[in-house]
Structure 1
Amino acid sequence: MERITNYSESIKALKSAILSSRYKAATLVNKELLLLYFTVGKFISEKTKKEKWGAKVIDNLSTDLQTELPGLRGFSATGIKRMRFFFESWEEYFLTKPSIKGQSSIIDIEEIAFRPTLLDQIQNTDNESFKIRPTLLNQIENHFFKLSFSHHIELIQATETLEEKIYYIKKTATEFWSLATLKYQLKNKSFSNSGSLPNNFLKTISNEEIRNKTLLSFKDEYLLDFINIEDNDEQDERVLESGIVQNIKKFLMSLGTDFAFISNQYRLIVEDEEYFLDLLFFNRRLQCLVVFELKTGKFKPEYLGKMNFYLSALDEYVKQSHEQPSIGIILCKEKKNKIVEFSFRDFNKAMGVSTYKTSTTLPKAFKGLIPDAETFKKLMD
């Protein structure tokens, strides 16, 4: 009897919380919605631990809430479990007041704030370690509430560390990532790849602020899963280029929101001789032209000499007076960082070397378990 009474009170408590938060499916502002979901998640989490609520109880809870509040959205059994997941994923990082006052039939929707101890744990969302200052705390909270519940669930499921979560929260909020864009950036491992490519920016870019922005604008590896290249011969560089141009929107998503596409095979004329740049972009954040040269094989030191020449010509003939010097990226299939490091030493133009992987790249765990492309070809013959 007591168990039934507690359950009935729980229904009343949740109904009251939903109504008191002015819940209307199409009109509730995002912050209020997140606070409601966080509070409901806390309530369900506590009930699960204290009263051993299982999946069946949550299923019944969802059905009964629909009966009490016809037309209610977001409170399916799966939705309620996600609310619990949302709360439990952030529980240790937030301060909350007791949500239940005196009796279980009242749930108080409380404001939540990052714990003060977070100041000593968090890292800069641009991957540079530092102890965050209290003045930045509100900024992080503002970013947090700009994300939809679906965004939060997606990034919680795909990240492990707090630093990763904060990085994606900030990027999503400031660059207005859609849910599809966030999924793509998570799949592309934007956090771990950002700012880690071999480069000569320290020597070639004197302004520290611009240098840091430049470093964070490029990745060590790009995911080009919309392209299928079977062989690593030179003719496939045009295939790679064609695949990128045909899917330029997806490639821009991989690069980031600050890039604007100018042209492929961009024509330069130096002393009556023609030269063609594979891909030319403009980066709004860096205010400079960016060249991507595509290579389907391993990185070779001679690639940098050609890129240095291209950048000099761009700065002389194309760059506007108010723009920063051009930057070049060699995008290749493979690289050895020590070879890249030695190759950079005598060049004065800002360059970096990144790699790409495509949908034909087999995860290490599966290598040797199924035949490779060459073996398949032989079997077909």
Structure 2
Amino acid sequence: MLINQSLIVDIKDIISKSRENAIRAVDHQRTLMYWYVGQRIFEEEQNGKDRADYGKYLTQYIAKELEPEFGSGFSKRQIELFRQFYRKFPIANALHSQLSWTQYKLLIRIDNQEQIEFYIAETIKNNWTSRQLERQIYSNLYERLLLSNDKESVLAVAKNEKLPSDAKEIIKDPIFLEFLGLKRETSYYERDLESSIITHLQEFLLELGNGFSFVARQKRIHIEGDEFFVDLVFYNRLLQCFVIMEIKTTKLTHQDLGQLQMYVNYYDRIEKLPHENPTIGILLCADKNDAVVRFTLPENQKQIIASQYKLYLPTEQQLLKEVNKELESLEDK
């Protein structure tokens, strides 16, 4: 008797999806429970707002009553977190079932409402895990995109209200590669960094941004008898174009930009299909002089992007310093 070979695969898929939906539903109910607890605490706190330190006394009292019966999930620290949760997200119907309680705990730490909206939209769109969301928040994805875009554009792309029309709307500078595990004080050849990127390709694609897929490594191209090798080739389905990446473990030079421009021209004239958009070139470098980039490339060009890589995540103070420096340089242009 012949049985369709896809039968077991389909049944396993049904079971897997049902389990995932059940886990998500349970987690969402837990999230709602914490929200209602936070709401009730806030209401009680408001009733006693004329009493000094009433809020602090209240959370201590609630934890003392609940923790012995319901466990450490209702400690004083957790009780305070429930209150913060309600205050940060005051509308129960606006809570997203796609987000877990762990992810909401990460979002509670963010003060800026537009940042919260951005990370919620990106988490849902990309189906980020809690760990992936935490990394994107900690690596200041929102701020890095703002360096070359306006706030409205960043939010609109995140919420799928518009498709990106410019590579700078999704490509970041700097790019953080702490997941490669390379020591910053050590010298590396380009091939070493490239090999490490391929080994950690999933994390690298996440850091690159939305819509990227890997095409080739050390892509050989022939130009009338001369042979060249392109470090990495990607395709971006949102921009609908090839993305060429060259890696330089030293400071960027104008010759590097010229080489990348040649590769981009080749792909535009030989590989690109008529319905596709112009090829994008990313020069991933250890260091760069933005003035050299501006004077080497034509004004208002959008195909070549120089992005500096970092082998470690910055502290909040380091990032703020970097952001302020970049904003000042933009104002001076």
1:167 matches 2:166: no
**Paired residue for 1:81?**
80
Q: Write the letter of the residue equivalent to 2:33.
A: L
Q: Write the letter of the residue equivalent to 1:38.
A: W
Q: In the aligned structure 1, how far is the partner of 2:279 from the partner of 2:262?
A: 11
**Paired residue for 2:66?**
62
What's the CA shift string for 1:214-272, capped at 9, x where partnerless? Answer: 22110011110133255686x62222112111111111121124111112211111112
CA shift for structure 1 position 77: 5.3
Q: Write the letter of the residue equivalent to 2:67.
A: T
Q: Write the letter of the residue equivalent to 1:87.
A: Y
User: SS of 1:44's equivalent?
Assistant: helix
Query: Is the contact between residue 268 and residue 276 of structure 1 (CA under 8 Å) also seen in structure 2?
Result: yes
**Paired residue for 2:128?**
177
**Paired residue for 2:233?**
280
Of residues 19, 36, 40, the one that matches 1:39 is 36
CA shift for structure 1 position 294: 0.8
Query: Is the contact between residue 146 and residue 173 of structure 1 (CA under 8 Å) also seen in structure 2?
Result: yes
User: SS of 1:226's equivalent?
Assistant: helix
User: SS of 1:322's equivalent?
Assistant: coil
| Structure 2 runs not aligned, ≥5 long | 1-21, 49-53, 150-161, 319-333
**Paired residue for 1:308?**
261
Call closer, same or farther: CA 1:348–1:38 in 2, change over 3 Å.
closer
Query: Is the contact between residue 265 and residue 276 of structure 1 (CA under 8 Å) also seen in structure 2?
Result: yes
Of residues 285, 290, 302, the one that matches 2:243 is 290
Call closer, same or farther: CA 1:337–1:349 in 2, change over 3 Å.
closer
**Paired residue for 2:157?**
none
User: SS of 1:194's equivalent?
Assistant: helix
Q: In the aligned structure 1, how far is the partner of 2:130 from the partner of 2:108?
A: 13
User: SS of 1:152's equivalent?
Assistant: helix
Q: In the aligned structure 2, how far is the partner of 1:217 from the partner of 1:354?
A: 12
| Structure 1 runs not aligned, ≥5 long | 1-24, 67-71, 95-110, 113-140, 199-208, 366-381
Of residues 108, 126, 129, the one that matches 1:156 is 108
**Paired residue for 1:328?**
281
CA shift for structure 1 position 197: 5.2
Query: Is the contact between residue 148 and residue 169 of structure 2 (CA under 8 Å) also seen in structure 1?
Result: no
Q: Write the letter of the residue equivalent to 1:296.
A: T
**Paired residue for 1:189?**
140
Q: Write the letter of the residue equivalent to 1:84.
A: R
- Percent of residue pairs identical: 29
Q: How does 1:242-261 map to 2 (within 5 A)?
A: 242-261=195-214
Q: Write the letter of the residue equivalent to 1:178.
A: T
Call closer, same or farther: CA 1:223–1:44 in 2, change over 3 Å.
same
Root-mean-square deviation (CA, aligned residues, Å) is 3.2
Q: In the aligned structure 2, how far is the partner of 1:83 from the partner of 1:361?
A: 29
Query: Is the contact between residue 30 and residue 148 of structure 1 (CA under 8 Å) also seen in structure 2?
Result: yes
Q: Write the letter of the residue equivalent to 2:238.
A: R
Q: In the aligned structure 1, how far is the partner of 2:305 from the partner of 2:24?
A: 47
CA shift for structure 1 position 362: 9.0
Q: In the aligned structure 1, how far is the partner of 2:317 from the partner of 2:288?
A: 18
CA shift for structure 1 position 41: 0.8
Q: Write the letter of the residue equivalent to 1:196.
A: L
Q: In the aligned structure 2, how far is the partner of 1:315 from the partner of 1:155?
A: 42
Q: In the aligned structure 1, how far is the partner of 2:127 from the partner of 2:313?
A: 31
User: SS of 1:281's equivalent?
Assistant: strand
Call closer, same or farther: CA 1:288–1:360 in 2, change over 3 Å.
closer
Q: How does 1:330-345 map to 2 (within 5 A)?
A: 330-345=283-298
What's the CA shift string for 1:174-220, capped at 9, x where partnerless? Answer: 2211112111211221111125359xxxxxxxxxx776352211001
Task: Considering fraction of residues, name the structure with more helix.
Answer: 2
Q: In the aligned structure 2, how far is the partner of 1:328 from the partner of 1:224?
A: 19
CA shift for structure 1 position 360: 9.2
Query: Is the contact between residue 262 and residue 282 of structure 1 (CA under 8 Å) also seen in structure 2?
Result: yes
What's the CA shift string for 1:73-107, capped at 9, x where partnerless? Answer: 9656554332222113335xx5xxxxxxxxxxxxx
What's the CA shift string for 1:324-377, capped at 9, x where partnerless? Answer: 221001111122222221122269671111111113989988xxxxxxxxxxxx
- For the pair shown, the structure with the greater C-alpha radius of gyration is 1
Query: Is the contact between residue 283 and residue 306 of structure 2 (CA under 8 Å) also seen in structure 1?
Result: yes
User: SS of 1:359's equivalent?
Assistant: coil
Query: Is the contact between residue 62 and residue 77 of structure 1 (CA under 8 Å) also seen in structure 2?
Result: no
User: SS of 2:165's equivalent?
Assistant: helix
Q: In the aligned structure 2, how far is the partner of 1:326 from the partner of 1:211?
A: 14
Q: In the aligned structure 2, how far is the partner of 1:87 from the partner of 1:331?
A: 42
TM-score by length of 1: 0.63
CA shift for structure 1 position 160: 3.1
Call closer, same or farther: CA 1:357–1:319 in 2, change over 3 Å.
same
CA shift for structure 1 position 47: 3.8
Q: Write the letter of the residue equivalent to 1:317.
A: I
Q: Write the letter of the residue equivalent to 1:294.
A: I
Call closer, same or farther: CA 1:356–1:306 in 2, change over 3 Å.
same
User: SS of 1:263's equivalent?
Assistant: strand
User: SS of 2:179's equivalent?
Assistant: coil
